[in-house]
């Protein structure tokens, strides 16, 4: 049996609440979190961000999803030609030379296909600062009854594959059938069950479609 290989990817693509939900439902994604990186300000916070950028960190099984596939999601999930302030800039933070080379090659390919200048920057990932609890799984947190039913702590909301998937569903991503399949598998075999009322709440959010108006 092949050994599971866990890797990380870090991306800045504007508001990190909306960025996180683009990755949470992807096969092979283990967990997602939001935080700050790229600047020199020590111990940044949302109110004292300094020169950092809002980012999403994706922990993934690279036997099930590749870094290139995550990059493809990054490119398709925002407009890389739109110049935002540094807090929301389009940026890729690579953790090794392989990621850096692939990111550079894809940036060059994207630029050759675009009639506008692409403003995306590529940096070496240095320090990743986890954002405050209230930013983690922002859309799932709108439904405390679901969090309470599952007994998820603040720490588990950061690391749990279940929380990552539910956060994306609560933002209106995915499909009803995909969610029901998750329920059938007890959300990735974590033996966590959701009652009928909470299931219907999530299904309605999915049926309503993506809602990132607060981002």
Beta bridge partners of 57: 10, 33
Q: CB 76: neighbour CB atoms within 10 A? A: 9
Determine the angle formed by the axes of helices 67-76 and 97-113, rounding to 10 degrees.
40
Contact 71, 60 (CB under 8 A): no
The question of whether 15 is a catalytic residue gets the answer yes
Token readout for 72 is 């493809």
Contact 80, 119 (CB under 8 A): yes
Separation CA 96–CA 111 (nearest Å): 23
For residue 123, what is the enclosing H or E element? strand 121-124
β-pairing, 129-130 vs 29-37, is: antiparallel
Give the active site residue among 8, 13, 15, 152. 15
Separation CA 162–CA 40 (nearest Å): 33
Task: List active site positions.
Answer: 15
């Amino acid at each position: 049996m092949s050994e599971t290989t866990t890797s990380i990817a870090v991306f800045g693509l504007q508001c990190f609440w909306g960025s996180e939900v683009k990755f949470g439902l992807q096969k092979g994604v283990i967990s997602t979190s939001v935080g700050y990186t790229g600047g020199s300000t020590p111990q940044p916070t949302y109110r004292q961000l300094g020169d950092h950028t809002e980012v999403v960190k994706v922990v993934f099984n690279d036997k099930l999803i590749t870094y290139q596939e995550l990059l493809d999601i990054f490119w398709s999930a925002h407009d890389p030609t739109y110049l935002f302030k540094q807090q929301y800039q389009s940026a890729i933070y690579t953790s090794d030379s392989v990621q850096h080379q692939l990111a550079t090659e894809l940036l060059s390919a994207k630029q050759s296909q675009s009639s506008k200048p692409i403003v995306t920057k590529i940096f070496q990932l240095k320090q990743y600062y986890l954002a405050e609890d209230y930013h983690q799984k922002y859309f799932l947190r709108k439904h405390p009854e679901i969090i309470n039913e599952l007994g998820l702590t603040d720490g588990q909301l950061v690391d749990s594959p279940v929380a990552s998937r539910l956060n994306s569903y609560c933002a209106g991503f995915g499909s009803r059938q995909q969610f029901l399949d998750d329920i059938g598998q007890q959300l990735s075999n974590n033996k966590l069950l959701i009652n009928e009322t909470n299931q219907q709440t999530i299904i309605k959010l999915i049926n309503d479609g993506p809602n990132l108006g607060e981002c």
